[in-house]
Amino acid sequence: MYEPKFTFTNKIVNYIAKIASAKEVISHTKIIPSYDTQLKQDALIKSSHYSTSIEGNPLNLDEVKTLINNNQKPTTKAEQEVLNYFNVLNHLNDYSDEIITKDTILSVHKDLTKDLLRDCKYEGKFRDTPVVIGNPHTGEVNYVPPDSYKVPYLIDELLDWLNNSTAELYPVIIAGILHYELVRIHPFIDGNGRTSRLMATLILSIHRFNINNYFTLDEYYNQDRQAYTAALNSADKNNDLTNWLEYFCQGVLYSIDQVKSEVLNLSKITSRYDRTIELTPNEISVLNLLEEKEIIQNKDIQKMLNISPQASYKIIQKLKNKKLIKSTGRGRTTKYTLA
């Protein structure tokens, strides 16, 4: 029977306390529907980019945004990989709403690897051959996963623990353990990392810890891929997950703090201005810049948002029409202040 080995260190306990506090703030902060929709879409796009980027996908964030927002059909493997991830994540709760089964994991993997594997028979199927984790250029071997014949048995053990022995554990700890174990077992020919991250996200959702679907961990992992890999590898030597769970909880706290900051900012904007006025994220950014600097020009907006003078001017005009900002001067010397 599977039983994870780890210690509740002071770090883990402190992280969990701060995570719970941030989650409480987010849950009780009200924002208007258009902001809610934007936050959810942004989280989906960022996760789709950063999780595939960890595995070497060459598309940058702007390219991923364009691909998804314009509903483009994939023309390359890289685009197919991103769209697969986005589609699975966007419908993740359809795979399971109570417990995770072997079919749950296989279905997620099948949709995640659609049209990506050399042999399509391995889409949504456990591997039947040995695999080695290492550097193909140097030949260095970092990790040898369990033999393929053990995979179904190991998955069964993991799921038995997951569905029957986790009632007293905090959802973040459960998600971290599931993430690590799926990477360790390495049940598939390819797509193990992406599947593991999606399953961790699904567990958080099942335990009502998805924080309105604003939440994503993948950006934190992608910031320092070596640290992410090192944290996963830390448990391989003695099967102790403590270091990994410290890293995992730190990542959750980092991500949830980002969400909290953004939600509080949106709530502040909502409460400050007429609630019948809906503002786009770019308009909110301009208002925040004005609050910080008090006086700005068109070029300040261009630089902050990385947009053209024409696009910046359109934002300015919309804010003026909403009577939120006012202007003085003419032409390139025009300055803007809060109305």
* Residue 208: other Cβ atoms inside 10 A: 9
pLDDT on residue 273? 63
What is the H or E stretch that residue 326 is in? strand 325-328
- CATH no., domain 274-338: 1.10.10.10
| CA atoms of 170 and 248, how far apart (whole Å) | 13
- Calculate the CA 196 to chain-centre distance: 13
Separation of alpha carbons 175 and 182, rounded Å:
11
The conformation of residue 234, written as its DSSP 8-state character, comes to T
Structure confidence at residue 243 as a pLDDT band (50, 70, 90): very high
CA dist 110 and 84 (Å) reads: 10
- Extract the tokens encoding 80: 């197919």
Q: Six-digit token pair at 15?
A: 């992280």
Q: What distance lies between CA 330 and its chain's CA centroid?
A: 44
Same fold, 30-268 and 274-338: no
Between CA 266 and CA 330 the distance in angstroms is 31
Q: What's residue 213's pLDDT?
A: 82
Residue spans of alpha helices (H) in the chain:
10-27, 33-54, 61-69, 77-90, 102-112, 151-164, 171-185, 192-206, 218-223, 225-233, 242-272, 281-293, 298-305, 309-321
- The one-letter amino acid at 83: L
**Contact between residue 204 and residue 171 where contact means Cβ atoms under 8 Å apart:** yes
Cβ neighbours of residue 28 under 8 Å, at least 6 residues apart?
A: none
Q: Which of 122-131, 135-144, 219-228 has the lowest mean pLDDT?
A: 135-144
What number is the average pLDDT over the span 80-93?
96
- Say what the pTM is: 0.84
Choice among 46-60, 146-160, 179-193, 212-226 with the minimum mean pLDDT = 212-226
Is the pLDDT score of 271 beyond 60?
yes
Q: Which residues are within 8 A (CB) of 216 and not within 5 positions of it... i.e. 6 or more apart?
A: 43, 46, 47, 50, 255
Percent of the chain at pLDDT > 90 equals 66
Using alpha carbons, select from 333, 331, 209, 338 the residue that is nearest to residue 273: 338
For the four alpha carbons of 47, 211, 280 and 289, in that order, the dihedral sign comes to negative
pLDDT higher than threshold 80 for residue 140: no
CATH superfamily of the 30-268 domain: Fido-like domain (1.10.3290.10)
Residue 260, both tokens: 């909290």
Q: How many CB atoms lie within 10 A of CB 332?
A: 9
Mean pLDDT: which of 32-36, 160-164, 212-216 is highest? 160-164
Question: How is residue 161 written in tokens?
Answer: 């623990």
Please state the domain extents for the chain.
30-268, 274-338
pLDDT at 293 (0 to 100): 86
pLDDT score of 266 more than 90:
no
Q: pLDDT tens digits for 163-212? A: 999 999 999 999 999 999 999 999 999 999 999 999 999 999 999 887 76
* Distances from the Cα of 335 to the Cα of 164, 300, 306, 313, 320, angstroms: 63, 10, 19, 12, 12
pLDDT at 66 over 70: yes
Rounded Cα distance, 34 and 257, in Å = 21
Q: Is 180 exposed, middle or buried (0-12, 13-18, 19+ CB in 10 A)?
A: buried
Query: Per-residue pLDDT tens for 246-256?
Result: 999 999 999 99
